[in-house]
Chains A and B, each alone.
Chain A
């Protein structure tokens, strides 16, 4: 158990809908990362927050947005969902924003868009 929690574990929804994925980082970690894992693209970095502020952005679609709250938990919002958004979404956390800090991954949320 990494100490990172993600809810829900599974999510099934329809095209065009909007969903929110939630992540609680390990106690003491200030940085949160979101990743998308699909069979064809592998594990892709989406976005990073550090202590409430956006720190780095990867291949995140404009339909997707995220935020980190004062209690450091984070939410990833996915809107106007398409079939291709079906994937595993992982949250990871680390102590600081430095790349030398280990990132601890949560168990993931499996999103299925029908």
Chain B
């Protein structure tokens, strides 16, 4: 079993739709949870960051972490064509050494159609 599982999609939605992206993980030591957005031929950029469990909202984006289920989600409201990108979940622990490394999901390719 991979440490982080993410449905690769692709996911295609109409403009204005609510998008739900998800990852599951197996390492209970993970404490830091992130969502990165990667446009084609570009480097990933941090979209949302959450420490431990709970919800975080930033504009049209909401990140949720459920540590009991080892499940994280990213919701995009009122999706726009400019949201079309690959979304990568990432996580790390804080137990030091190599555990500081980010472990990424494989990414979900999202297309928002005008």
Cβ of B101 and Cβ of A100 under 8 Å apart? no
| Chain A interface, number of residues (Cβ within 8 angstroms) | 25
Which residues does chain B contribute within 8 Å of A97, judged by CB atoms?
Answer: 100
Q: Is the CB of B98 within 8 A of A56?
A: yes
Within the complex, the shortest CB–CB distance from A60 to chain B, in Å, comes to 11
When C-beta atoms are compared, the residue in chain B nearest to A102 turns out to be: B46
Q: Check A25 for interface membership: any CB of B closer than 8 A.
A: no
Determine the residue in chain A with the shortest Cβ distance to B94.
A99
- The reply to whether B32 and A100 contact each other, CB–CB distance below 8 Å, is yes
Q: Does A49 make an interface contact (CB < 8 A)?
A: no
Query: What residues of chain B lie closer than 8 Å to A2, measured between beta carbons?
Result: 43, 45
Choose one: B46, B88, B98; the contact of A43 (CB below 8 Å): B88
B43 touches A48 (CB 8 A): no
B53 close to chain A: CB less than 8 A: no
Separation of A111 and B92 alpha carbons in the complex (Å): 27
Interface string of B14-55 (1 = CB under 8 A from A): 000000000000000001100010000011111001010000
CA distance A100 to B36 in the complex (A): 15
Q: Is A58's CB under 8 angstroms from B104's CB?
A: no
Q: What string of 1s and 0s marks CB contacts (under 8 Å) between A88-103 and chain B?
A: 0010100001111011
A57: chain B residues within 8 A (beta carbon):
98
Contact of B44 with A42 in the complex, beta carbons under 8 Å: no
B46 in contact with A103 (CB, 8 Å):
yes
Shortest CB–CB separation between residue A106 and chain B, in angstroms?
A: 5
Listed in ascending order, the chain B residues whose CB lies under 8 Å from chain A are 31-32, 36, 42-46, 49, 51, 88, 90, 92-94, 97-107
Residues of A within 8 A of B (CB): 2, 4, 33, 42-45, 48, 55-58, 90, 92, 97-100, 102-108
Having A43-B104, A57-B98, one finds 12 other A-B pairs with CB under 8 Å, namely A42-B105, A43-B90, A43-B107, A45-B102, A45-B104, A55-B97, A58-B98, A90-B44, A97-B100, A99-B92, A105-B43, A108-B42
12 A–B contacts from the bound complex (CB under 8 Å): A2-B43, A42-B106, A45-B101, A45-B102, A45-B103, A48-B100, A58-B98, A99-B31, A99-B100, A105-B36, A106-B43, A108-B42
